[in-house]
Structure 1
């Protein structure tokens, strides 16, 4: 089937320009002006006047909970939520039950992803068996079985020796090692950032030191091993400074920041509300500014949602007892566009790079992150002009654990194409 997308404002090759896109057999076969005048036989046309047409967004950090925790999310609901947010490629973390720590378990999850995924799903394998931080998995076998990268996300690797050996293996097999940075001995039972607001709310605080101290260790180990080390969800100014130093030393490090850490600080937490409980926690205004500055100066490479759905019961009551985590797939682009692009802090082109081209490039996702002839027709269409409200009833994720519900925003997803097929379309 040939599909023609006409009159949209297309982000392509670093520029926004009004061009048409012709799709055939799941691929982009042409981009240009007034393609309809060429007399090409097409089966469907979409007039996208006034809409932004972008490469499908890429998220290197999501949690789909299947197998093991399908009451929170399934591959189907999680990937539908991604499509609703304009994402066409996502990378799913391995904190599942059973953990994809051997070939059979990895292949089981991959089959589920292929069967039920509305978007392209790349699957992480774990660094250690059962994600227990002790015995390494078989990196070679898991790579050959199609693992996207290695991570124990949800748990930091506590022993330096284990991390060193893991980095050596990942480097040997030219695979990224993606780390949840957290020194458990420095947590002290905290549930939100240690600081004035935690004291005001009488809640135990989480030290930023638990992140930055382990990151410092890891960066030195990465320097010694040459591994592609990727730091998940940076949250402190010290972490930004450490990555900036590492890049100045040519250490092979990339890193991400989550939308919620850009949008909120601990001072914005109105009360003991578990929807504001995530790990790492919302930090200080000073940390928030450092993260924004780190994106703008290139220290932080990309934005990743850390989409972490939970059931209603798990997010009830005080932060002291609720689960850590916030959803993000369906809210990320619109909130970032509204709060940063419309206010002139980020350029639209920068936001699209951080959410599509850069993660695709850094993780060598060859068919993602760009609109070019011959590439997969993975495309997101956004309405930047009309305000809309984030509502619980519109979410496709099972998880509604986000404090942003009820927010007015711009940048609503109108359509999402994966391999030329419509996987999400806003209802009229």
Structure 2
């Protein structure tokens, strides 16, 4: 069964411009994204043409400076765009979030010359980015990464393997974290690597339980030569750049999770009103009504949490703790809500004739990407109680 158009969410947006932007995104979601979502996910098709449309519509650089091709939008608005896209298809919403994450290092830490040269194409020129931090042996312990960059005259030569890379093999550029010095976080440097660089290759995409339309693959760097003017920030600053990027990226994942949960609630509510048992709609039974009420409450709480963190970010205030809280709560909510949606649809919910089984499979990865939810709890606890005793 094709996915139905997302139901409009009543949003509190700060400006008329933001309201017009959300209307544009909803129109694209209803006309271009939702109708093909189920078919293309089942086929494992990545909708590159949709990302070209989003780029042409100015939606791939929303939180960045218009001087370099961005949209000058606050995170409060950008995240609600991600939620709208994810309601229609998670592959698209998460893809925009990852592209924004991949662009962050250059936008925040690049020189003016670097931003002028590269950002316009990255933000509005149809390019798509990937973010390379994790490795086969360093996921949660990202500071132990082994990919190494060695200085050779005016260039750096990079060797190593990155793992779990969204858009791996199809991205036009990668933000790559590589070791240039001592062991640990202080020896890592960030680089902007072209997707067609000589020596860069991608393994076969991972076979996943969900998000089949979004390619995830290892990236191999075999003697990839990158000029020093593609080094981002100072030598040894890469890990702090990576962590700063992940704070914003976690808010992106939180918004995507709420979009997915909202889509599941909409489908469950629609079904419960139409499905009749014992002579009346199943939505009239108190057990299901309470499930729907809990699902809606969890979604509203998650939306309020990610927007609160976004407003802190927009105000220039610390938001790392709140970003971790939002990522934790919203992705756990997505898992609970999609599971409950399958239960409400009963046997039909377990079939591919309805989208809730796909939503449930997709929700699981959101508890893992950009820091597992166990890592989020560690981050929150450190803010509350300080670093662990050694």
TM above 0.5, yes or no, is no
**Greater percentage in strand:** 1
TM-score interval for Structure 1 and Structure 2 normalised by the shorter chain: under 0.3
Higher RCO by CA contacts (8 Å cutoff, separation 6 or greater):
1
TM-score in terms of structure 2 length = 0.24
